[in-house]
């Protein structure tokens, strides 16, 4: 998991930055934008998810460090940190009412996430409206990382 999430993210960013450094700065003031996909599990501890959480925490710290290293080059580097989202990977869980009820207990928002919730934040980070946003790990998790609702 560390190889895919950690090394895979580092390699992808390295290759993107090599290309971006060949490009001129665009009208918005950026040479390019990188948006990594981390996870809320990389921000807060989750039972029985240590390896996954550690690999996503690596993505979050890679994001911050590479953003710091390449801000001077006008390259934006950010990450989104999804919470519980209905995807192909989680489809089995979304078919089990007991698991859904358990997941909702940890998410303050009254519904679980959909892929469009994540996509909208990624689109923002790729837009000119985010030209001065770099080094951020944005939780898109219905409040999961804010705290456990009682």
> What pLDDT does residue 103 have?
80
What average pLDDT does the segment 11-25 reach? 98
Residue 100, domain member (yes or no)? yes
> What pLDDT does residue 101 have?
84
Residue 147, domain member (yes or no)? no
Residue 146, domain member (yes or no)? no
Residue 118, domain member (yes or no)? yes
Cα 97 to chain centroid distance, Å, stands at: 27
Q: How many domains are contained in the chain? A: 1
> What pLDDT does residue 97 have?
84
pLDDT at 16 over 80: yes
Question: Rounded to the nearest 5 degrees, what angle is found at the Cα of 57, between the Cα atoms of 53 and 62?
Answer: 150
Residue 34, domain member (yes or no)? yes
Residue for token pair 């895919």: 4
Residue 80, domain member (yes or no)? yes
pLDDT at 46 over 90: no
pLDDT at 63 over 80: yes
pLDDT at 126 over 90: yes
Residue 40, domain member (yes or no)? yes
pLDDT above 90 as % of the chain? 74
Instruction: Name the residues annotated as catalytic.
Output: 52
Write down the pTM of the prediction: 0.92
* Mean pLDDT, the chain, whole residue set: 93
Q: Is 37 left (phi over 0), alpha (psi -120 to 50) or beta?
A: beta
Which domain covers residue 66, as residue numbers?
Answer: 2-140
Residue 145, domain member (yes or no)? no
E strands, the chain, in order: 32-37, 75-82, 137-140
d(Cα 145, Cα 29) in Å, to the nearest integer?
Answer: 32
DSSP code of residue 113: B
Q: Give the domain CATH number at 28.
A: 3.40.50.720
pLDDT above 70 as % of the chain? 98
């Amino acid at each position: 998991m560390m190889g895919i999430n950690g090394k895979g993210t580092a390699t992808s960013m390295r290759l993107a930055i090599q290309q971006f450094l060949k490009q001129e700065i665009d009208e918005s003031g950026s040479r390019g934008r990188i948006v990594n996909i981390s996870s809320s599990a990389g921000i807060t501890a989750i039972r029985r998810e240590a390896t996954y959480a550690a690999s996503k925490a690596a993505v979050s710290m890679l994001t911050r460090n590479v953003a710091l290293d390449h801000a001077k080059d006008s390259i934006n580097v950010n990450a989104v940190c999804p919470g519980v989202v209905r995807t192909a990977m989680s489809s089995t869980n979304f078919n089990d009412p007991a698991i859904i009820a358990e997941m909702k207990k940890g998410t303050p928002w009254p519904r679980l996430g959909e892929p469009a919730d994540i996509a909208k934040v990624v689109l923002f980070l790729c837009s000119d409206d985010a030209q001065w946003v770099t080094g951020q790990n944005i939780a898109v998790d219905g409040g999961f990382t804010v705290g456990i609702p009682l």
